[in-house]
Amino acid sequence: MESNRTRSTNRVFVARLVGTTVFDPLGDRVGKVHDVIVLLQMRGEARAVGLIIEVAGRRRVFLPLSRVTAMQPGAVITTGLLNMRRFEQRHVETLVVGELFDRVVTLKDGSGKVTVRDVGIERDRGMDWKVTRLFVQRASSGAFGLRRGETFTVRPEEVSGLAGSADQQGATALLATLEDLKPADLADVLRDLPPARRQDVAAELSDERLADALEELGDEDAVAMLSALESARAADVLDAMQPDDAADLVSELPSPKAAELLALMEPEEAEDVRRLMAYDEYTAGGLMTTEPVILPPEATVATFLAQARKAEVTPALAAVAFVVRPPLESPTGRYLGIVHLQRALRERPQRMLGSVLDRDVGTVHAEDSIGTVTRLLATYNLTALAVLDDAGRLLGAVSVDDVLDHLMPDDWREADEAVTDEMIERSANG
């Protein structure tokens, strides 16, 4: 065993490699490293054969390590030859970040089990990349009295179980690589993981983080992930979601499961979801959220800015405050108008919102079509639009991002790849 994470000139640890920019020989950016592919054999050395590169459109493609000319701090240099076909994992291939990080293996010296936290690959004289080091952490005190949590490096041949099953794997190291990802990028990572691994990671995410990711996943993936959670946890995640996204997801569940989760949700959240589920999907009521920024006319500009700064408020909803008479919970008292964030930034913090209202912006009713909503958003250059009932009370707001989600085709993520393919083909044809 080695006492620290020493490495030779050609040795690279994968956790440090992930996110590194990939350049062609001319210095043009190609993409960034997403993962490393290795071949684990029951006998013989484990070999690293390629990188998964994330290119434009969040497409993942395979780059053979034979086409990598250099790995430097902050840069991977390639020969410039890159096959843009979407990466599809074969059964003999193992993803280092997706499948090896957090795997529990057994030390052959009898000192107990350790968890893989990082993997070192090294280029040999034949220019092949081999897995030469495992950076591991002891899960519990071993036979020799070593302290809990000790980290050290070992050679792959000094452990057993490296080519093990998914139930030997936790999620700690992978979660560390996902910590700073935006929800859409986190959703992409979850979508690409094997189903069992995906659920392990989901189990370790906070309710709010998982809710954000589910809002960005397609219906089929989101339903599968939610259905695999224990019912109480699934209800907590639904509570953390935007009500309109939660309603869309619950409506895709089998009726008995939907009823069970609604019964377990917080009563107010569940009531919002039930109310939204009553509307047709392509109407303002089906698109709206019941939780925009809602304030009374006596509230100050400073109060609006404080509400807009909250992490749970999306950028589209943060751009406008809906001003109403009490009560402030939807359906509210009489709707008065809106205050644009840009206007609020030009006013004194103590100024009341009722004095800077925009009363001339159009509104919609819950039964209005998505076409009507789209026209008004475009006409008034809005990011969110008020939805009123016949009595002039605010029911909620439709944000531009929700409209875009419903206007895009169901397979828009795959369509994005098709567009990329077409662009590549046109470029190749001059």
CA-based nearest residue to 272, from 284, 260, 257, 288: 288
φ, ψ at 280 (rounded to 5°): -65, 145
The pLDDT value recorded for residue 145 is 43
The winner for highest mean pLDDT among 134-138, 154-158, 192-196, 300-304 is 300-304
CATH architecture entry for 294-407: Roll (3.10)
Q: Give the pLDDT mean for 137-154.
A: 68
Q: How confident is the model at residue 140 (pLDDT cuts 50, 70, 90)?
A: low
Please state, in angstroms and rounded to a whole number, the distance separating the CA atoms of residues 161 and 40.
11
User: Which pair of tokens denotes residue 122?
Assistant: 């090294």
Out of 40-54, 66-80, 118-132, 305-319, pick the least confident.
40-54
Q: Is residue 142 over pLDDT 60?
A: no
Q: How confident is the model at residue 411 (pLDDT cuts 50, 70, 90)?
A: low
Please state, in angstroms and rounded to a whole number, the distance separating the CA atoms of residues 50 and 48.
6
CA-based nearest residue to 107, from 69, 155, 147, 145: 155
Query: Percent of the chain beyond pLDDT 90?
Result: 57
Report how far apart, in Å, the C-alpha atoms of 306 and of each of 104, 295, 303 are: 46, 12, 5
Domain borders along the chain are 11-167, 183-278, 294-407
With tokens 């997706």, the residue in question is: 98
How does the average pLDDT of the chain come out, rounded? 85
pTM tops 0.85, yes or no: no
Helix (H/G/I), strand (E/B), else coil: 168: helix
Please name the residue ranges forming H helices in 219-300: 219-228, 231-240, 243-251, 255-264, 267-277, 284-287
89 vs 269, more confident: 269
Residue 169 contacts residue 104 (beta carbons within 8 Å): yes
The counts of H helices and E strands in the chain are 17, 19
Report how far apart, in Å, the C-alpha atoms of 357 and of each of 298, 336, 337 are: 12, 8, 6
The pLDDT value recorded for residue 344 is 96
Q: Is residue 416 over pLDDT 80?
A: no
Q: Give the pLDDT mean for 46-50.
A: 89
Q: How confident is the model at residue 312 (pLDDT cuts 50, 70, 90)?
A: confident
Residue 362 contacts residue 375 (beta carbons within 8 Å): no
Q: How confident is the model at residue 5 (pLDDT cuts 50, 70, 90)?
A: very low
Query: Percent of the chain beyond pLDDT 70?
Result: 87
Please state, in angstroms and rounded to a whole number, the distance separating the CA atoms of residues 399 and 306.
20
Q: Give the pLDDT mean for 253-270.
A: 95
User: Which pair of tokens denotes residue 99?
Assistant: 């499948």
CA-based nearest residue to 338, from 349, 324, 352: 324
Same fold, 183-278 and 294-407: no
425 vs 130, more confident: 130
Beta-carbon contacts of residue 424 (< 8 Å; ≥ 6 apart):
84
Please state, in angstroms and rounded to a whole number, the distance separating the CA atoms of residues 399 and 385.
6
151 sits in which H/E element: strand 151-154
3-state helix, strand, coil in the chain (%, to 5): 40, 25, 35
The pLDDT value recorded for residue 421 is 47
CATH topology (fold) of 11-167: SH3 type barrels. (2.30.30)
Question: Read out DSSP for 391-419?
Answer: TSBEEEEEEHHHHHHHHS-TTHHHHHHHH
Please state, in angstroms and rounded to a whole number, the distance separating the CA atoms of residues 416 and 280.
27
How open is the CA angle 394-400-402, to the nearest 5 degrees?
A: 85
Longest dimension (CA), the chain: 79
The pLDDT value recorded for residue 8 is 40
**DSSP letter, residue 147:** P
Please state, in angstroms and rounded to a whole number, the distance separating the CA atoms of residues 294 and 405.
24
Q: Give the pLDDT mean for 317-339.
A: 96
CATH 1.25.60.10 fits 183-278, yes or no: yes
For 189, half-sphere exposure in the C-beta direction (CA atoms, 13 angstrom radius) is 27
For 177, other C-beta atoms within 10 Å of its C-beta total 18
The pLDDT value recorded for residue 417 is 47
Residue 356 contacts residue 338 (beta carbons within 8 Å): no
